[in-house]
Structure 1
Amino acid sequence: MSFSVQRLVIFDLGKTNAKMILREPFNDLTVNTRSRPNTVLRNGPYPHYDITGLMDFIIGALVEFSESGPIDAIMVSTHGAGIACMSDGNLAMPIMDYDFSGLDQSAAAYDAIRSDVTITGSHRMPRGLHLGAQLHWLMNTHRSKMRDVDQLLFLPQYWTYWLSGVATSEIAYASCHTDLWNFQTGDYLDLPTLDLNLPKLMPPFSQSGTNIGPLRDELCQYLRQSNPPMILGGGHDSTLALVPSILDHVEPVTVLSTGTWICVFALNVDQLPLDLAFGQMISLDPFGNFVPNIRFMGGEILARFSGLPEKSGLEPNPQKIEDIFDAQNAWLSDENGAAVDPSLIPKHRRMDLLSGFLAQATSEAMDAIGASGPIYIDGPFAKNSVYLAKIAHRQVHDANGSGLISGIERLLRS
């Protein structure tokens, strides 16, 4: 990028928590951080995110951060599977929580019209993890309001639009298990069955990290500075974490982005998988390059099972427990394939055992997509010593847990 950023604010919107981070990139220094839950509201037509609460949170953090000095730029990073249906510059419908169970009721109908994996780049995922599934449900349950929609914004771009007033799209988000991108034609999918003209509804593409305009006047009034901060094009958290490895390597590299999901990315591979087995997918990185990847809910599995109360002192022989992995679930089984209740494992052993099982699942996932070379890992599993030890034979070179921040700041230096 052709501009200098001394003080950068990152709005990091995860599925569980929202953070505002004030950074000094050239000093590699985090100056201040604020956080709050990314609350899901249950009122209204369906579960949705607390957008007003997040707006107040952003404004409050910007006010506080600007008191210690001027803010040069603001960049947004969000979790996947979020889309904003807009009308005349405002939300026409609340932004849906992709875990909304009501989507199960229309799953069969959506499956009947969904494009093949060779077109979408991903197999069917649960509930609203495909934006196409969310739009299908909305068109069938709130058609009159959806008729008023004149623009669709991916979740990072909704927030950059709110900050800047400039509507954009972003290629990595568009291609990440959305069911809206056609990998055979390199363009948006035609969705006549949903009565949606995607090319007309989607704004132009802008690369993550690009200066798309200044902070709009209505928000500048809260800051104690004369010049407005630049608003940089937002992106998907998992793909932004890939940027340092993409820009700094030409040889094959494996990137693990960990949290609620463990996402495995194979960079600079010689060829794409010819047959996408279940759980594997193809997406595009922020620069439009193909990236084979695979993901499973490792963090959620670890949190769910490690926190279960103990039922007894019985402990299965850990040598006879193996991890069974697929894209939808992970669980423990004995040598006969029978499920083992994790609550039977003493709590002091459970975290280590589960971490080991998830490391094995990660290794199998890497093999499945042909990932090789040094491993760069970010997120909470970068501090899990048992997990790291189990994949150490795969040459873990970097486990500093700061992939998102490193990715964003590496973009600014490119």
Structure 2
Amino acid sequence: MNAIPVCAIFDIGKTNKKLFLFDEQYQIVWEKSTQLNETIDEDGDNCEDLPLLTSWILASWNEVLSQQQFDVQALNFSTYGASFVYVDKNGKVLTPLYNYLKPYTEVLKRQFYDTYGGEEVVAVKTASPVLGNLNSGMQIFRLKYQKPEIFQQVQHCLHLPQYFHSLFTGQYYSDITSIGCHTNLWDFRTNKYHEWTSIEKIETKLPTIFYSDKVVKVTKNNTTLAVGVGLHDSSSALIPYLINFQEPFVLLSTGTWSITLNPFNDTPLTYEELQYDCLCYMHYQGKPVKASRLFSGYEHEVQTKRLAEYFDTTNDYYKQVKYQPEIIERLKKTQNIVISEQGDKYSLLKNSLFTHRDLSTFVDYEEAYHQLILDIMTQQLISTELVIHNFPVKRVFVDGGFSKNPIFMNLLAAAFPEMEVFAASMAQASSLGAALAIHKHWNKKALPADLIDLKFYASQPLFLQK
């Protein structure tokens, strides 16, 4: 029996660490996952246990190689972003993998922005809202000034996917999808590193940029392995859509954050848009992707717990609630927040609307839950329109948690009657994207036409306020 040709993908999230093998039809034929305990850095802040994670990756790789039914021809990586690994000239890791939620020193923040023109100027040039350590370039700046003795030893600053790449190839590269994701490093106006990286002597520690659709070939034991440079997970998850659909679309990727990605809008970000939590990602071919973010998944989690407590149900009772348009019509007459009474409509993006609802005014859980989704949708429309304004798109694809929510999907379809709205699902989008990025280097077969399952939601005659 001939071994099955496969592409291996390490998909490293903050919580779940996964390894998948995709066959030539991009079906998952083997998988492994784990959750690893965090450790703490020298300040006592929680962070990824990088030695433990590295050990798991190498052990899992050896396990894959022992599976004689598979012929592993390619390898790539998709990981969470905003995390730098610092290595010396011998490849030794010099620091913990600092958490991007680690508090950023206000004095150092002021030093940076005062030196380089202020928050507005830097944010507009780099398409990066001011986010502290979540702007991963600020982590390097912090290392330089807080730990100069370590900074001097740093040979390479590697985002997490590229660190894993180096484990298998011994080579050090940067990747545009990681650099281009709210890092403060990349000047989107000039399409090169921002001048501060040169002034601070940081650019020399950032390895050469390697194209996301290229590979490094490693030969061992008469076997050649094509190794991709790795991708930022949000950019990787967009790849299956870019490959399958040429007409303009937006992807609403929902989870803890609901992120609207418009790869067909390349207008420069304004400071006003940055204030409303817009930013730019970079897709795997180096093109800016305008995006807006809304903390709606978190809001949904918080408020469904509140509903469960008030109505004495389980936390996931909302999964049993069916879409009832008559409830929506009734709520619009009795409960709707009028934007004109709230001032600037964009102010609605900053605060929970449902928090201020009196739960005693709802007849039951079902009615209250419909109102919660209505309130989330009021914010979602504002957020999504920020990146489709004057850039008409024909389709809206929704993936993640809200794609499985019939109330959310029906309200979205009603809000955009001029567009086709689809719930999209596929097996492990970010992993699949990482495999597709290097398709031509390992897979001689044509790309399958059925990579994405779509469910169409027809527009209903509801009149949501935009």
TM interval, short-chain normalised = 0.7 to 0.9
Change in 2 beyond 3 A, CA 1:200/1:139:
closer
Q: In the aligned structure 2, how far is the partner of 1:298 from the partner of 1:256? A: 12
1:357 and 2:375 aligned: yes
How many equivalent pairs are there? 393
Contact 2:76 2:435 in 1 (8 A): no
Q: Which amino acid aligns with 1:83?
A: F
Report if aligned partners of 2:9, 2:21 keep a CA contact under 8 Å in 1. Answer: yes
Distance 1:90 1:182 in 2: 30
Helix, strand or coil at the partner of 2:190: coil
State the 1:135 CA deviation. Answer: 2.4
State yes or no: 1:407 paired with 2:412: no
1:392 correspondence with 2:444: no
Q: Once the 2 structures are TM-superposed, how far is the Cα of residue 387 of structure 1 from its aligned partner? A: 2.4
TM-score normalized with structure 2 length: 0.74
1:80-108 residue CA offsets vs partner (Å, 9 max, x unmatched): 21111221212111111101135467444
Is 1:90 aligned to 2:92, yes or no? yes
% of aligned pairs identical? 21
* 1:300 matches 2:298: yes
2:82 paired with 1:81: yes
Q: What's the Cα RMSD here?
A: 3.4
Given residue 203 of structure 2, which amino acid in structure 1 is its aligned partner?
P
Unaligned runs of 5+ in 2: 313-329, 340-344, 441-466
Aligned to 2:125: 119
Match of 1:236 in 2: 232
Check the 8 A contact 2:235/2:281 in 1, yes or no: no
AA in 2 matched with 1:82:
S
How far is the alpha carbon of 1:170 from its aligned partner?
1.0
After superposition, the C-alpha distances for 1:366-386 in whole angstroms (9 at most, x for unaligned) are 211126321223333332333
For the pair shown, which has the larger CA radius of gyration, 1 or 2? 2
Contact 2:186 2:192 in 1 (8 A): yes
1:137 alignment partner in structure 2: 142
Question: Retained in 1: the 8 A contact 2:173–2:208?
Answer: yes
Higher helix content, 1 or 2: 2
CA deviation string 1:227-271 (max 9, x = no partner): 253321200111112223334444321012222322211122374
Q: What amino acid is the match of 1:146? A: F
Distance 2:271 2:109 in 1: 24
Could you tell me whether the CA contact under 8 Å between 2:180 and 2:186 is conserved in 1? Answer: yes
Q: Distance in 1 between matches of 2:261 and 2:209?
A: 23
Cα separation, partners in 2 of 1:391 and 1:201, compared to 1, 3 Å = same
TM-superposed deviation, 1:311:
5.6
Decide whether the 8 Å contact of 2:124 with 2:269 is kept in 1: no
Q: Which amino acid aligns with 1:79?
A: Y
Distance 1:99 1:171 in 2: 22
Distance 1:73 1:341, change over 3 A: farther
1:179-328 correspondence runs (5 A): 179-191=184-196, 196-214=200-218, 227=223, 229-269=225-265, 271-272=267-268, 276-277=272-273, 278=275, 279-308=277-306, 312=310, 319=332, 320=335
Query: Which secondary structure state, in structure 1, belongs to the residue aligned with residue 297 of structure 2?
Result: helix
Quote how far apart the aligned CAs of 1:168 are: 0.8
Residue-by-residue CA offset, 1:332-385 (whole Å, 9 max, x unaligned): 257xxxx34889998777765544433443322221112632122333333233
* Cα deviation digits, residues 132-156 of structure 1 (max 9, x gap): 3322332332222122112111121
Paired residue type of 1:199: E
TM-score (normalizing by structure 1): 0.82
What one-letter code is carried by the residue in structure 1 that aligns with 2:248?
P
Give the counterpart letter for 2:9 in structure 1: I
Aligned to 1:13: 12
Superposed, which structure 2 residues align to 1:26-41 within 5 Å?
26-37=24-35, 39-41=37-39
Deviation at 1:119, TM superposition (A): 0.9
Determine if contact 1:252/1:269 at 8 Å carries over to the other structure.
Answer: no
Q: State how far apart, in whole Å, the 1-side matches of 2:148 and 2:421 are.
A: 50
Q: Is 1:375 aligned with 2:396?
A: yes
